[in-house]
A and B are shown apart, each in its own frame.
Chain A
Amino acid sequence: KAGVTQTPRYLIKTRGQQVTLSCSPISGHRSVSWYQQTPGQGLQFLFEYFSETQRNKGNFPGRFSGRQFSNSRSEMNVSTLELGDSALYLCASSLRSSGGATEQFFGPGTRLTVL
């Protein structure tokens, strides 16, 4: 079974631009979560989507948004890029169940550099 895939793997943008990152979850997984990883702040939760609805959101500004499609693929968008948005963006997928949290599996990440 294929793992979580993320595209593109690397991106270079300039301040003020916007960017869209894509994540395809493991087949059968309906929950997709996004995380930002930086050397200073570590791994921080951005948001989670399940059944095309945002279920939870971390403490990030409104410039960070996302969506999920009917096939569970998810996109994350960052508008008006700032230098501090340079980070590794990781996507995780899980089965998710009403009985509790399930194991999460991560993709390889998208390395975003903002110049």
Chain B
Amino acid sequence: KQEVTQIPAALSVPEGENLVLNCSFTDSAIYNLQWFRQDPGKGLTSLLLIQSSQREQTSGRLNASLDKSSGRSTLYIAASQPGDSATYLCAVIEGAQKLVFGQGTRLTINP
């Protein structure tokens, strides 16, 4: 059974810092991996999708990497801003579009 773990559970940093969020998964037989952000009481916003054949994907200040062999992914956020405060979730995509989520990292950027 696939298990996804995100460390740390919560992170608080001052504005302007670069930061890394970690995600690990137990079964490397995944299709893809997707990173989301969730604001309190809201739905999920897709940030990046990494295909299983890719090593990384970039969008603006975000860069996500994937190492299937070690079962790890990282989300790098450059020059953090208060608007980046949210819960970040990683999810591995198994067969038939099933997402298996981690518990998330609650990120707070302090002005």
- Interface residues in chain A, defined as those with a beta carbon under 8 Å from any beta carbon in chain B: 4, 31, 33, 35, 42-45, 48, 50, 55-56, 58, 88, 90, 92, 94, 96, 100-109, 111
Whether A48 contacts B97 by the Cβ 8 Å rule is yes
Whether B104 contacts A42 by the Cβ 8 Å rule is yes
Residues of A contacting B41 with CB < 8 Å?
Answer: 88, 111
Whether A48 contacts B96 by the Cβ 8 Å rule is yes
Write the B77-111 contact mask toward A (1 if CB under 8 angstroms, else 0). Answer: 00000000000010101111111111110000000
Main SS class of interface, A: strand
What are 24 inter-chain pairs, A to B, with CB distance below 8 A?
A: A4-B43, A33-B98, A42-B101, A42-B102, A42-B104, A43-B89, A44-B101, A45-B98, A48-B96, A48-B97, A56-B95, A56-B96, A56-B98, A92-B99, A100-B32, A101-B31, A101-B32, A101-B97, A103-B49, A104-B93, A104-B97, A105-B46, A106-B44, A109-B42
Cβ contact of A108, chosen from B43, B95, B100, cutoff 8 A: B43
The answer to whether B52 has its CB under 8 Å from any CB of chain A is yes
Whether B43 contacts A90 by the Cβ 8 Å rule is yes
Residues of B contacting A94 with CB < 8 Å?
Answer: 97
Residues of B contacting A102 with CB < 8 Å?
Answer: 49, 97
Residues of A contacting B28 with CB < 8 Å?
Answer: none
Given A100-B32, A101-B32, A104-B34 in contact, is the A55-B97 Cβ separation under 8 Å? yes
Residues of A contacting B98 with CB < 8 Å?
Answer: 33, 45, 48, 56, 58
Whether B42 contacts A108 by the Cβ 8 Å rule is yes
A13–B89 Cα distance when bound, in Å, is 29
CB nearest neighbor in B for A47: B98
